[in-house]
Structure 1
């Protein structure tokens, strides 16, 4: 991730209101793996980073059927 400041990332369905909960919290210089299950809206998800800059890698895998 290589964050320049402590903060958090929130992942949520695209074109929806960002939730108040974070999915990943970090401090400067950390590299952190994480797994998040997020609904997809029109084939998209949104990522929100609070504070500083980060290098973020996202792999999209799998799906659920109802």
Structure 2
């Protein structure tokens, strides 16, 4: 993710806007640094048949990636990077 599309390498976190669409059932998405344990808190809670968006700050792994975890059914997910934190 870092080093691409205007996000420089070495950032500490990214600001993302995640939108769930076409969900098969109610559920949630958890965004976190790639390679780390899935946290107990959600980043986006969605409803079946509804388009739902949420903005969140996500730590980035040492190699520059995040993971998006969906434990419920299926959903299309649109994720836009809105900004980033260096440091």
Is TM more than 0.5 here?
yes
How many residue pairs get aligned? The number is 66
Bigger proportion of residues as strand: 2
Q: Partner of 1:46: helix, strand, or coil?
A: strand
TM-score (norm 2): 0.70
**Runs of 4 or more consecutive aligned structure 1 residues displaced over 4 Å after TM superposition:** none
- How far 1:13 sits from its partner (Å)? 0.3
Matches within 5 A, 1:1-66: 1-41=21-61, 42-66=63-87
Show structure 2 runs of 5+ residues with no match: 1-20
Show structure 1 runs of 5+ residues with no match: none
Instruction: State the superposition RMSD in angstroms.
Output: 1.0
TM-score (norm 1): 0.90
